[in-house]
Structure 1
Amino acid sequence: MAGITRPTIALFPEASFGAALNCVGIAQALQARGARPVFICHPGFSGVFADYGFQEYQLPTAVPLSDDERQNYWQTFVKRHLPHFRLAPIDQLETYVAPTWEAIVETVVDAEAPLNDLLPKLRPDAIVLDNVAMFPAIANAGCPWVRVVSCAETELPDEAVPPYLSGLPADDAAGRRAFETRYRAAVARAHDRFNRFRAAQGLPALPAGQFLEPSPSLNLLLTPEIVRRERAVPLDPARYVYLEGCVRSDGPYDMPVFSPDSGPLVYLSFGSLGATDVDLIERMLAVFAALPARFLVNVGNLRDAYRAVPDNVHLDSWFPQPSVVARADLFIHHGGNNSFCEALRFGVPSLVMPYCWDGHDNARRAEETGTGRRLDRAGWTPSQLSAAITGLLADRGMRDRLQVNAARMAEAPGTERAAAAILALLGN
């Protein structure tokens, strides 16, 4: 950090808890190394970073919404798309993926003026962007920017890597062609608008279907070695750093008392969006009731939607997830990359029940690498879910491999790798 004292690092995660909490882990490591991390946050995330002791700079919105109004908006959005989450990944392209990209592009356009107003005042030494689309104001800010790939590694295209969001195996050439053709057609309108907006801000167009270019300075990938993919064109280690996950530090968790208070511990979380699928979780609770295990279940702010809860199940609106996963014997999740990496970091098998986005890619990868199993979100029977849970809990070989990997990840925490790489960039 030659010539720099306590550099200001602005972290700008997308409006999702996965990206937000991933950036919290990086910020904790940066702060421990003497930097000054601050957060640029989307509406609705005010207080998330302040709770961890970091300064926040909120982007204003044209139409201010209260926290309750914003929560209701997202619950309505997800409920509208619940039928689409039961479709195959390729059939979600027109119904869910394309509308989501259109909403993301709208967010980029709306954020441009506030970012252009904020960044000259903030004067960061570097900006850490954990988003799936580029914000031109960041590219034009006059300081290095760092891309964080906190989705699956498939976000970076390569001929030997399956298409992003497809859930395909790498060797399915016909499936790849079909998916890429439909993907580019489905997102063409959003992509055309995005490229026209980029051009107006002095940025070059991106290839069809891509919404974010690699950083010319530094790119950070969460992907642990145990699930890393072979690429036709290897990534340049001078610009691309694998973090072996990026797990934040959270407070301890006081385990509730179950009846009976024994048996393996299973943690279920489908993230803030997946928690909206109350019908699915209720079906799962009925299966849990007959299993000799204890279950912690994240139901978001919908706790009151559940009436009869089995004695071996504890529901809550929030859990300090890393602390809980560290004590679990099995993690049932939607395939979000943070959740997948946390399971790997603590040597816990994953039962992945994906519903959208890169959850499909991570579900496929869990099976390919023997780090977990995939189960269809809608088509399972009670006996299939029960067999998947009991089978993973009894798979000693999988658990042993995961424990060896967890020890390796613990030796070089991804948060520390990220902080070191960012500060080395400033030193150069």
Structure 2
Amino acid sequence: MTQRTRTVAFFPEASFGAALNCIGIAQALRELGARPVFICHAHFQGIFAEYGFAEYPLQLDSPLSAADHQHYWERFIERNVPYFDQPPLAQIDSYVAPAWEAIIDTAIESEKPLQQLLARLKPDAIVLDNVVSFPAIAAAGCPWVRMVSCAETELPDTAVPPYLSGASSSDAQACETYREHYLQATKPAHERFARFLADCGHPALPAGQFLEDSPWLNLLLSPTPVRYEREKPLPAERYLYLDGCVRSEAPYIPPQFPRHDEAPLIYVSFGSLGAADVAMMRRLIDAVAQLPYRFLINVGAYREHYDTVPDNVYLDSWYPQPAVLRECQLFIHHGGNNSFCEALYFGLPSVIIPYCWDGHDNARRAEEVGVARYLPRFENPLAALPGALAELLADKAMEQRLGTVREQMQASRGTEAAARAILGICAD
């Protein structure tokens, strides 16, 4: 008897980091004979179709159109650019608490459309890559998977620094100060979300948490070299660490540069949020124009803001990042989890200049374990950048260490492991 094709519905948040690592797992599921489909916010359509997957856009229970939602988030990001230079503790009030309120708005607007769509799709499993709960998923009548695309700190433990803190686990005072302030500042958002969950018949969540673990399967993008020793280890039967979760891309051919065309090639990407900080990106371009390297720089949707480009710099709105990293010798990024993990997957040293969210956590951890340099934005990172690049490119011990990490991660076949684990929980 032929086994029927399993339908796995992915629901990533409307960010490229979550979307693209889900694509890697969906590619592996497709190779195993499953039918991956993507539920997406209407303003994020097209990303998944480019990789050959069916898309099901949510029609939000909101007076705003898809274009209005896109503009809402663009305005939210641009309003918050001034806070990107603050340390994590200050960002709790200026950025983190308002961000939770905005995220909760989207979750509430998504609930009814998501219920309707899941009833129509009838998936065998759902993969949620988000930071908040959606009661419709828990009530869909099939197993669901929590995908932790942010730092491992998202899953609390007494031996792990607080989520979004950028603190070291060895600095107990900094951890406690951040934890207390975070709980106080996010309490109104948490209480509002709790009322919504109760109205949906969904269990309450602990203080400061907006998403529960899945009772079936939880996937973590936290490679072996950067994992924390937890006070309470996560049970292996429900928590799977993915040492590599990188999508497949066609090969990338670097452009020719009028200057330094034989020099080391460095990729620069601060994600869609960081690209909105055009002033910072211009300062960075001015800084690297004086350096003896080639630079590929991702400027996102803001390409028209750059009239002149140095001879050793190439700008674009989009790069197939995994394919690009294969050609590079170093990566400058914001510490987003995809960039963080892909740098390790390809054995590249990194300069991490975070500006918000879990980038702070990843930057701190990467420097602690010796796989990157952390240059805080609130400490004039561009002044330290030339020295950091020269040191990393000359560091043979790090090169050897990262080569071992690359071999281990690429041998782990993380996307296939994730796909098999997802199929393993599908209802009969």
TM range (shorter): over 0.9
1:334 is aligned with what amino acid? H
Aligned to 1:135: 134
- Deviation per CA, 1:287-327, whole angstroms, max 9, x where unpaired? 21121110000001211211221100000000000001111
Aligned structure 1 segments of 4 or more residues deviating by more than 4 angstroms:
none
1:221 is aligned with what amino acid? L
2:175 is aligned with what amino acid? R
* Range with bigger deviation, 376-385 or 218-227: 376-385
Aligned to 2:336: 336
The answer to whether structure 1 residue 243 and structure 2 residue 242 are counterparts is yes
Cα separation, 2, equivalents of 1:301 and 1:148: 27
Cα separation, 1, equivalents of 2:277 and 2:413: 33
Cα separation, 2, equivalents of 1:3 and 1:237: 31
2:189 is aligned with what amino acid? A
Displacement of 1:25 in angstroms is 0.5
Displacement of 1:42 in angstroms is 1.2
* Range with bigger deviation, 400-409 or 370-379: 370-379
Aligned to 2:42: 43
Displacement of 1:196 in angstroms is 1.2
- Deviation per CA, 1:315-349, whole angstroms, max 9, x where unpaired? 00000000011111110000000000000000001
Displacement of 1:242 in angstroms is 0.4
Aligned to 1:306: 306
Aligned to 1:286: 286
* Gap runs ≥5 in structure 1: none
Does the 8 Å contact 1:131/1:148 carry over to 2?
Answer: yes
Cα separation, 1, equivalents of 2:91 and 2:381: 23
Does the 8 Å contact 2:86/2:377 carry over to 1?
Answer: no
Cα separation, 2, equivalents of 1:300 and 1:294: 19
Aligned to 1:113: 112
Aligned to 2:83: 84
Cα separation, 2, equivalents of 1:215 and 1:301: 35
Alignment of 1:204-223 (within 5 A): 204-223=203-222
Aligned to 1:377: 377
Q: Structure 1 residues 191, 396: CA separation in 2 closer, same or farther (over 3 Å shift)?
A: same
Displacement of 1:71 in angstroms is 4.4
Does the 8 Å contact 2:124/2:427 carry over to 1?
Answer: no
- Deviation per CA, 1:186-214, whole angstroms, max 9, x where unpaired? 11111011111111111111110000111
Cα separation, 1, equivalents of 2:7 and 2:382: 52
1:157 is aligned with what amino acid? P
Aligned to 2:272: 272
Displacement of 1:427 in angstroms is 7.0
Does the 8 Å contact 1:222/1:414 carry over to 2?
Answer: no
Displacement of 1:3 in angstroms is 8.4
TM-score by length of 2: 0.97
2:229 is aligned with what amino acid? E
- Deviation per CA, 1:5-24, whole angstroms, max 9, x where unpaired? 11000000011010001110
1:379 is aligned with what amino acid? E
2:374 is aligned with what amino acid? R
Cα separation, 2, equivalents of 1:64 and 1:73: 9
Cα separation, 1, equivalents of 2:96 and 2:2: 45
Q: Structure 1 residues 173, 378: CA separation in 2 closer, same or farther (over 3 Å shift)?
A: closer
SS in structure 2 of the partner of residue 158 of structure 1: coil
Alignment of 1:365-404 (within 5 A): 365-380=365-380, 382-404=382-404
Displacement of 1:245 in angstroms is 3.0
Does the 8 Å contact 2:353/2:381 carry over to 1?
Answer: no
* Gap runs ≥5 in structure 2: none
TM-score by length of 1: 0.97
Cα separation, 1, equivalents of 2:122 and 2:139: 12
Aligned to 1:165: 164
Cα separation, 2, equivalents of 1:197 and 1:109: 7
Aligned to 1:99: 98
Cα separation, 2, equivalents of 1:228 and 1:204: 30
Aligned to 1:423: 423
- Deviation per CA, 1:229-249, whole angstroms, max 9, x where unpaired? 100000100000001131111
